[in-house]
Structure 1
Amino acid sequence: MSPEKFAEGLNDAQRAAVVHGDGPLLVLAGAGSGKTRVITMRIARLLASGVPASAILAVTFTNKAAEEMLERVIALTGARAAQGLTVSTFHSFGLGFLQREARYLGFGAGFTIFDQSDAVGTIRELMRNLHVDGERRSTQDDRAGGRRLDAAAILNRISLAKNAFETPESMPDGGDLDGEAALYQAAAKVIYGKYIAALRGFHALDFDDLICEPVRLLEKFPELRDKWQRKFRYVLVDEYQDTNKAQLELLRLVVGAHKNITVVGDDDQSIYAWRGADVTNILSFEEHFPGARVVKLEQNYRSRAPVLEAANAVIGNMPNKKYKKELFTTKTGGDMLQLVTCALPEVEASFVASEADRLIKDGRSPSQIAVIYRSNKQAELIEQALRERGVAYVLIGGQTFFERKEVKDLLSYLKLAVHPLDEISLRRVINYPARGIGEQALHRLEAYAIARDVPLFHGRPPAVVARELSEKIRLKEDLWAGSASGTAAEKRWGNVESLFRSLDRYWQRAEDSAWDLEARRTPSIAEFLHRMTLRFGDEEEQKTEVVTLTTLHGAKGLEYDVVFLIGLEEGILPHKRTLDPKATDIVDFKTDESGAAVLVEDGIDEERRLFYVGVTRAKERLYLCRSRARSSRGAPAARLPSRFLADVPNHLVEIREVTEVVRQSPEQMRERTAKALAGFGGRPKF
């Protein structure tokens, strides 16, 4: 097959990247510019040019991306031509390297890999041995409030240090941090060296070692370095903007003198600093690999012109920007962006749900609608509003509201309180003592419930019942006692309070619907709650025609006809912890994809890139939504619009103001209720 075949059907910039010969190549691929096609076509062309498949290494970040890349190459060249090609993640490559060169590790009888659970368990044991995990008295400098330190959070800090090649001695001690962040950093420094020693004692490696150990061995043993540099004549890397320092060093050591490395990425979509990614890797590529050629992919195949013009304006205001890209499209037309200002977050949620409902009724596929937000906690109100309108959805990268542990726990106890003699419910709760509320609370509940008449809470608003019950069984105290940190406890109790608010809203709106009035007369609170969620059971989870709810981080790489970007306010985007780094802790680092744990010098720049990623997910229509006020410590507080909104040109936007919750008519609610209940014979089953 002629190599020239793989240059056909490409635009000029794509073709330049695909036909590039030897030497380093940086492909700056703008959003929606066809980067995956370019990297796979380049691999196919190398194969067609006579380069052995075994001499090509392609690296990406996820197994799914690696599998897709290999499948595309095979589709282009055939399986025989691609046989021997190495397409893997960084960690898979590192593991293969260490398995082949195990004798250099000095373990003797081989090694084992610790997964996240193994590593956290080791950290936890070290914490006990070093007496850094016990209950501490709250002092002025102890903002953890007497809570236990979280082993996973300490491991995450050690992971950061490893990937930055910090030793236990050079790791910062946290003296420049405040409160809980300082406590965690100090504890991590104490444990770091002991953790390394423990791994060696177990002949074990953790995930970070799969990158760091190959780097150490390649630097230490010249014969290894020569061997692997001869093995791979061409190295290609996808999503290069997401690499960290350790991954860069691994690539430099494998590439060696031939410098035949192609990296594809977008500095404008570097949004993982909180996970250790270093945007300077892509910005300094020409310094790391002198003589590099730079090709920019600027033709966008995804979005209409208004969306791209807004995206260009937002990212163009990035200060000290090294590489200028101007996305363009040959598509004509396109809707104006909708700049929607809502009175409150509840109003914002109702607007999004009603607008999504309207679009679906007008023929838009639910799977082509997405609601995108900065952090997972913003999804609660959106979920509630969509449920009330009967709009099915899927939550990417998080649990739905009613799947959250604390919510499920309290609902189980509510049902048990209503039916205290229901032995099945009682046994189910007892059989799962790790539910997070504790067996003592169960015994208190049982005693409280049996002392009352049955049915226990007939005819009373469920929110009142839930609050009373949570106080009687001392739920809040149990949650705090069972949480790893003060931050974790606050989040869990926040979920319980969200349930109270959801019950309040549903009860208040019951007067608008005959169905809900019937529910008011229903003695079973569990049945009442079941009515709220009966449309979203297992059969809904299997459907593909659902609206997508995702964080900005989870949305990267995805695209939708219609996108709602919500919560565009100062303190949310950009995030408050980026605006005030002194208040930042990394307690939930790597466990919260919202990225709320950012503590980097260019934090505002990364927040701008997040906004840019959100904007460029939209193909046809984009809603930019914010609230004028948001609850702060129990009272509404005025919120300023996100500074990034000021960068969107006025001529691109249509301004809308929404002051009240968008309600359904009683007829609409009855119609949806009847449809939902039809599959249950008119009445939900338990």
Structure 2
Amino acid sequence: ILAVTFTNKAAKEMMVRLSDMLPVNVRGMWIGTFHGLCNRFLRAHYKLANLPSTFQILDTQDQLSAIKRLCKQFNIDDERFPPKQLMWFISACKEDGQRAKDVVVRDEETRKKAEIYALYEEQCQREGVVDFGELMLRSYELLRDNAPVREHYQRRFRHILIDEFQDTNKLQYAWIKMLAGQGDDAAAGEHAMPGGSVVAVGDDDQSIYAFRGARVGNMADFVREFEVQHQIKLERNYRSFGNILDSANELISHNSKRLGKNLRTEAGPGEPVRVFEATSDFAEAQWFVDEVRELVRGGTARKEIALLYRSNAQSRVMETALFNNGIPYRVYGGLRFFERAEIKHALAYLRLMDNPHDDTSFMRIVNFPPRGIGL
């Protein structure tokens, strides 16, 4: 069994539930995120993948630092080719399964970006590091190009389960098809088992990650390519009242190419949905303050009131309005533990001890604590 989730939290919860249900040790089971499972796969086959046994993984910030270092080394104009945009370009190529040589060059800008992508690949290979996109792409390439390895895993994983399928990108879907022995990407050998079973759970109406490569069309492709005979639609909702579901159903019905479903509930209609359009962000914040005061006067506890916003940049005006009106509040979120500077510095020291060729980690800690070293 191979079970794929999108977050470490979901993978850990699945392991805990299974350990409570099964009389066997579940630690050896292949349950995790796409990147976590590909990391495990490459650790087991690092020689075939042309990687050192102690290869390190670059997170997004480390990847950006590596690209900035590359731009400086090769005198690349960072105004014409901002490092962050180069990072997005490289990640998008990898999510589409493209190496630098595969990039379709339509203009001079794309040609230059492809050249930088090639230089970045050489740098990562030299330093023995991989980014998140590389974990997936190199795993896919190893399965595609090595028939014995591919056939071994096709025999091993007879049942594949994928959660949040609407968030998969082109490469992840191709990886799943190959492991399942399905489609042109599988290229099954003479000893390959017949296709394995795949259970995909997803909601095409919740696909919100197209900006980072997610392809909602994978769901319709899955139904067609795997010749799915039995779709189970989970249409009963346990979280919301009828008015919310009616509004959601009406709004999402305008989306094209949906697999289609109609949410319902037995919780009753609930309060009507209200829409307020403000003239400015300040007017919006004042409206929210007035709403909070009205709710509190009506007996609602402050801890029962929540404000959701799309980006952290929107919180400043709201926070200022709440503060100026003496309304206590708490902001949830912020930097995760492993994204804190001091933690990243400590990890960089450990990585450099393990791999002296890791220039990205060296650049992070060479002046932390400050040593007055000019670079």
Measured in 2, the distance between the counterparts of 1:293 and 1:190 equals: 47
**What corresponds to 1:267 in structure 2?**
204
In the TM superposition, what are the counterparts of 1:80-229 in structure 2 within 5 Å?
A: 80=24, 82=26, 84-107=28-51, 111-133=55-77, 147=79, 149-172=81-104, 175=107, 187-229=112-154
Q: Which deviations, in whole Å up to 9, do the C-alpha atoms of 1:603-646 show, x marking residues without a partner?
A: xxxxxxxxxxxxxxxxxxxxxxxxxxxxxxxxxxxxxxxxxxxx
Structure 2 residue matching 1:337: 3-state secondary structure: coil
Quick check: 1:357–1:389 contact (8 Å CA) kept in 2? no
Structure (1 or 2) with the greater strand fraction: 1
Structure 2 unaligned spans of 5+: 182-193, 336-367, 371-375
Q: Which deviations, in whole Å up to 9, do the C-alpha atoms of 1:211-258 show, x marking residues without a partner?
A: 111110101111101111122221111111001111111111222233
Measured in 1, the distance between the counterparts of 2:106 and 2:318 equals: 38
Q: Which deviations, in whole Å up to 9, do the C-alpha atoms of 1:528-567 show, x marking residues without a partner?
A: xxxxxxxxxxxxxxxxxxxxxxxxxxxxxxxxxxxxxxxx
Q: Which deviations, in whole Å up to 9, do the C-alpha atoms of 1:12-56 show, x marking residues without a partner?
A: xxxxxxxxxxxxxxxxxxxxxxxxxxxxxxxxxxxxxxxxxxxx2
Label 1:67 to 1:83 Cα distance change in 2 as closer, same or farther (>3 A): closer
Quick check: 1:259–1:289 contact (8 Å CA) kept in 2? no
AA at the equivalent of 2:14: M
AA at the equivalent of 2:248: A
Equivalent of residue 335 in structure 1, options 250, 255, 271: 271
Structure 2 residue 190 is the aligned partner of structure 1 residue 246: no
Structure 2 residue matching 1:66: 3-state secondary structure: helix
Label 1:307 to 1:101 Cα distance change in 2 as closer, same or farther (>3 A): same
Question: 1:389: how far off?
Answer: 2.8
Measured in 2, the distance between the counterparts of 1:229 and 1:69 equals: 23
Structure 2 residue 286 is the aligned partner of structure 1 residue 350: yes
**What corresponds to 2:251 in structure 1?**
314
Label 1:171 to 1:368 Cα distance change in 2 as closer, same or farther (>3 A): farther
AA at the equivalent of 1:160: A
* TM-score normalised over the length of structure 2: 0.78
**What corresponds to 1:515 in structure 2?**
none
Identity of aligned residues (%): 33
In the TM superposition, what are the counterparts of 1:557-636 in structure 2 within 5 Å?
A: none
**What corresponds to 2:295 in structure 1?**
359
Measured in 2, the distance between the counterparts of 1:149 and 1:92 equals: 31
**What corresponds to 1:231 in structure 2?**
156
AA at the equivalent of 2:24: R
Measured in 1, the distance between the counterparts of 2:34 and 2:97 equals: 17
Question: 1:81: how far off?
Answer: 6.6
Quick check: 1:132–1:187 contact (8 Å CA) kept in 2? no
**What corresponds to 2:339 in structure 1?**
none
Quick check: 2:205–2:258 contact (8 Å CA) kept in 1? no
Equivalent of residue 325 in structure 1, options 261, 271, 282: 261
- Report which structure shows greater RCO (CA 8 Å, sep ≥6): 1
Measured in 2, the distance between the counterparts of 1:287 and 1:62 equals: 27
AA at the equivalent of 1:115: D
Measured in 1, the distance between the counterparts of 2:292 and 2:104 equals: 48
Label 1:395 to 1:174 Cα distance change in 2 as closer, same or farther (>3 A): farther
Structure 2 residue 3 is the aligned partner of structure 1 residue 66: no
Question: 1:341: how far off?
Answer: 3.4
In the TM superposition, what are the counterparts of 1:509-528 in structure 2 within 5 Å?
A: none
Q: Which deviations, in whole Å up to 9, do the C-alpha atoms of 1:459-496 show, x marking residues without a partner?
A: xxxxxxxxxxxxxxxxxxxxxxxxxxxxxxxxxxxxxx
Quick check: 1:155–1:188 contact (8 Å CA) kept in 2? no
Measured in 2, the distance between the counterparts of 1:293 and 1:355 equals: 47
Measured in 1, the distance between the counterparts of 2:80 and 2:328 equals: 39
Structure 1 residue matching 2:231: 3-state secondary structure: strand
* TM-score normalised over the length of structure 1: 0.44
**What corresponds to 2:354 in structure 1?**
none
In the TM superposition, what are the counterparts of 1:283-432 in structure 2 within 5 Å?
A: 283-319=220-256, 321-396=257-332
Measured in 1, the distance between the counterparts of 2:126 and 2:142 equals: 19
AA at the equivalent of 1:73: L
Structure 2 residue matching 1:372: 3-state secondary structure: coil
Structure 2 residue matching 1:380: 3-state secondary structure: helix
Question: 1:278: how far off?
Answer: 0.7
Structure 2 residue matching 1:235: 3-state secondary structure: strand
Measured in 1, the distance between the counterparts of 2:171 and 2:87 equals: 17
AA at the equivalent of 2:134: D
Measured in 1, the distance between the counterparts of 2:203 and 2:124 equals: 36
Measured in 1, the distance between the counterparts of 2:239 and 2:258 equals: 25
Quick check: 2:168–2:218 contact (8 Å CA) kept in 1? yes
Label 1:200 to 1:395 Cα distance change in 2 as closer, same or farther (>3 A): same
Quick check: 1:154–1:187 contact (8 Å CA) kept in 2? no
Measured in 2, the distance between the counterparts of 1:79 and 1:350 equals: 57
In the TM superposition, what are the counterparts of 1:437-452 in structure 2 within 5 Å?
A: none
**What corresponds to 2:343 in structure 1?**
none
Measured in 1, the distance between the counterparts of 2:175 and 2:50 equals: 20
Label 1:254 to 1:330 Cα distance change in 2 as closer, same or farther (>3 A): same
Structure 2 residue matching 1:153: 3-state secondary structure: helix
Structure 1 residue matching 2:264: 3-state secondary structure: coil
